[in-house]
Chain A
Amino acid sequence: MTRFEDELKNALRRQQPPQGFADRVLARAAEIGSRQVNRAWRDLWLKIFDQPLVPANLLRWATVTVVALALVVGGVHYRSVERERAQGEAAKQRLLLALRIAGSKLQLAKTRVDQINSGQVNSNKLHSDPTANQQKRE
């Protein structure tokens, strides 16, 4: 190495940075670090609210299960309602029949009562009218 190169090496010796350089670098690093932590938290929250709480596959199966259950429960309920309606209809028919029978019986009874009443009227007429009795005897 020449003397010129030695002088050059001497001139370009490493220099210490200004006082507090390392502290300023560390402060910047800490600031960036805290910013990254804040961003990580924000991203986590966004992810939580952005993504479905349950996996898509599970959600799909849950939907299928709920629909199937709804169909089964609905079918059972419909059959129960139908049975009750049929029973109600049968009871109604029975009641109507009973009413019809009762009505005809009442009609019969009324006729008999009317007949009995008309027969009693005739006998009363015979007792109260002597000419009618005489004529009857003759």
Chain B
Amino acid sequence: MAEPVPAGAAADVVVGDFAEIVRRHQSMVFSIALHFLADPPAAEELAQDVFMQLHAKLSTLKSPEHMVFWLRKVTSHRCIDRMRRHRIPQVSLEDLPESSVLEFSPGVQPADPFLARRLQQLVASLPGKARLLVILRYQEDLSAEDIAELLDMPAATVKSHLQRALAMLHDKVVRSMGEVRSEK
């Protein structure tokens, strides 16, 4: 789902228009933070911090692809750091308040909004690392190898963690919504 980056625009984008860079990548950065934290104000704060860091580092980034990689990496690390620093507890599905359900942006309505919201809640209830892997895999459409490179993990570990996270999610879906909706 990564946004296409025009080839050959590296120098222009890196050197120049920071505003254009923010507008182009804001949904990616914000969504990683939002799906991880399940807290829109905290997600916006984190996304702003990522772009501030990018502003300071802009001259060191060599290409648009490098920039996207860097943004995903920094956002992921900041999510994990925030979780550790604020000791965000891993909440059970039953404990998640209804207010933590994320609102979909206009024009991004899923086929089944109820299921989508429930799945967002379920993802938010996963352990930190597993949550991040699921977000990078299904939001950013990254392969296990890409995620491994991004998080400095062996690809095999990423695959096994993803499988475990999916199984965990599947179980939760089955328990909360019934077999019918989660069937393959």
Contacts and interface: CB of A to CB of B under 8 A. Distances in A.
A22 B119 contact: no
B116 A11 contact: yes
Given A7-B112, A18-B40, A12 B27 contact: no
Interface string B113-130: 001110110010000000
A25 B48 contact: yes
Residues of A contacting B: mostly? helix
A14 B72 CA distance: 13
A26 B20 CA distance: 10
B66 interface: no
A7 B182 CA distance: 9
A15 B27 contact: yes
Nearest to B2: A14
Contacts, number: 106
B23 A32 contact: no
A5 interface: yes
A4 B170 contact: yes
Given A21-B44, A29-B52, A14 B28 contact: yes
A13 interface: yes
Interface stretch (B6-14, B30-38, B79-87, B143-151): B30-38
A96 to B, nearest CB: 91
A120 B18 CA distance: 133
A104 B139 CA distance: 132
Given A4-B166, A14-B108, 9 more contacts: A11-B119, A12-B31, A14-B1, A14-B31, A15-B27, A15-B31, A15-B104, A26-B18, A29-B51
23 contacts: A2-B184, A3-B184, A8-B119, A8-B123, A9-B1, A9-B138, A9-B139, A10-B111, A11-B117, A11-B119, A12-B119, A13-B1, A13-B31, A13-B139, A17-B43, A21-B26, A22-B22, A22-B26, A25-B51, A25-B52, A26-B19, A29-B55, A32-B55
